[in-house]
Each structure stands twice: as C-alpha cells, then as structure tokens.
Amino acid sequence: MAVLDLFSLHGKTAIVTGGGRGLGVQIAKGFAEAGANVVLCSRKVETCEEVAQELTKLGIQAIGVACDVTKQEDVNRLVNTVIEKFGRIDILVNNSGATWGTPAIEMPLEAWQKVIDVNLTGTFLMSQAVGRQMIKQQSGKIINIASVAGLGGTHPQFLDTVGYNASKGAVITLTQDLAAKWGQYNIHVNAIAPGFFPTKMSEVVIERGREYIMQATPLARLGSEEDLKGVALFLASKASDYVTGDVIRVDGGMTAVI
C-alpha cells in the first residue's frame, strides 16, 4: 500500500463529540478532508448541524446529533442513530470537555462532579457504547482528547484547575487500560494531549498567561487551526495500525522543557 493511502479514510465513519466548536471542528474537518463520513455531536446540536453542513461541501456525508455524553440514554441513542444511517462506526473521538478554575480548597463539589462527569465519565460511556460495536466489527480506532494538564501538576498562578487536571490524567490511564483490554479485538485506543490552543474554554487562561505560555513553549506560539488535524488523522487511519495505548503530546514542546 502506498504511504498516502495509509492515511485515507474513504468509506469510514467517524463520531466526534464536542464537534460543534474548537478542537472538535478542526479534527472533524481533517477527517472529512481524508474522505470520512462524520457525525458531530454535543448538547448544542445547532452548532454541530452548521459544521456538518459545511463539511458536506467536501463531498462526504455529515450530520449533527444532540447528545449529552454524561447521559447513558443519550449516548446509546447516538450510537443507534449512527449504526442505522451508516451501518458501522470506525472512529470515535472523545473531545467533549469541561473545566472549572478555582483553588482546590474552594472547589465546589458540584463543579468537581461536572468536570469529572463530562471529561472522564463521558469518555467512558462513549467508549463503552461504541466499543460494543467495534468488538462486533473486530476493528476500530478510539482517540481520547486528554491535555498536557493531565500529565502532572500546574502552578496555581497559571492554571488552578484541579478537577480538569485530575480528569485528564484519568483519561490517559483509561486510554491505556482500554488499549490493553481491547487490543485482542483489533481496537486501537490512543490519546492526544494538546497544549494551548485558542478555544472558548481556554481563552481566559491564555489571556492571563500568554507571556508565560510563550516563554515555556520552545516553538513560541499557540496551537493553530491545522496543528491537530494531522495527528488525529494518523491515529484514525491505517498509518497507526501498530500504535495503541499511546499519548501524543501536541504542545509546541512545552512538556519537553525540564
């Protein structure tokens, strides 16, 4: 097989949670450009439908579906919808996310639970439901969007988000454990740990800590609208068929600095 063919997603069907904005849109567009049919889902279905309409201009099928990833009934309904329309699910990107900035000793329990529910439980519920289908198919690619914040602690004056950090660290461990459990079914489970990309969720942190981020990042810039597409495509395609349980950092070198 020619090397460029290894990256083709023609005939594949991908689900991207949180697909109506930010990193989800970037990843979904990359998949569509590679030939995949794309299902975008979030609680705000209108934004997903708008993105889906744009993606169809690339000659693929794309739909937006309402789904709260913390609700098992929503997740099951989404999976059933995708199977009914496309017949199979080849790729799942768990991108839906939430955060809450406050000192750990002041963190409200309800805020902690919200962050854990979306980032960790939502990732598990989606992986579980889609995993059942992938086991039947004996193939599949699951990509979890973690974060460099999940790799360790962060200075409180820069990023005081204990629930977010903890949840993303747990997502990394979940990724590795599912990879160990589901490799026997030819299901690949990997994670991407982005650094700082301009999104609605990160805008406050970037605004307050831009100088620090620039100094701490060897490439001295934020992530762009193109910087996740290639990595996500690699993990979704045959090009990564011998890669599972891995975490790829896309952070401009920030975590390479001692």
Question: Which residues are annotated as catalytic?
Answer: 164
* DSSP string for residues in 99-121: ---B-GGG--HHHHHHHHIIIII
d(CA 253, CA 65): 35
- 37: its two tokens: 């049919």
Q: Are 154 and 99 in contact (CB under 8 A)?
A: no
| Strand ranges in the chain using DSSP code E only, listed in sequence order | 13-17, 37-42, 62-66, 91-94, 140-145, 187-194, 247-250
Give the per-residue SS3 of 70-98. Answer: CCHHHHHHHHHHHHHHHCCCCEEEECCCC
The H-or-E segment that residue 194 falls in is: strand 187-194
Q: What is the DSSP code (8-state) at residue 245? A: S
Q: How far are the Cα atoms of 170, 196, 209 from residue 227, in angstroms, in the given order?
A: 24, 11, 21
Q: Are 46 and 99 in contact (CB under 8 A)?
A: no
Q: What are phi and psi of 130, to 5 degrees?
A: -70, -35
